Structure 1
């Protein structure tokens, strides 16, 4: 339940701010509240691998 206490305020901010976007990374669950489906996405994977790939991609630009 602890992750929900961390995620929920960010979901609320995403719902309340018109230009806010939400990206979640989780290695087990691909979940995004219905209310922010059009403003967010989830990446199913290990966050260390996701961030390493993002840094590598950014370096290629």
Structure 2
């Protein structure tokens, strides 16, 4: 098996880094709310879950 040249190593490392950044951005984008209304709705839902239900 021939030894990889420096250019091929650079391309391989670049592809890996770009892929890692893209995956990180995608996962971060999906985890956050988008827009003020959606953020407010998620905040309200989280507070509803935090407060105990009515006592019976």
Please say whether Structure 1 and Structure 2 have the same fold, judged by a TM-score greater than 0.5: no
Q: What is the TM-score of this pair, normalised by structure 1?
A: 0.28
- Which one has the largest radius of gyration? 2
Between structures 1 and 2, the one with greater helix share: 2
Q: Which has the higher contact order (CA 8 A, sep 6+)?
A: 1
Q: What is the TM-score of this pair, normalised by structure 2?
A: 0.30
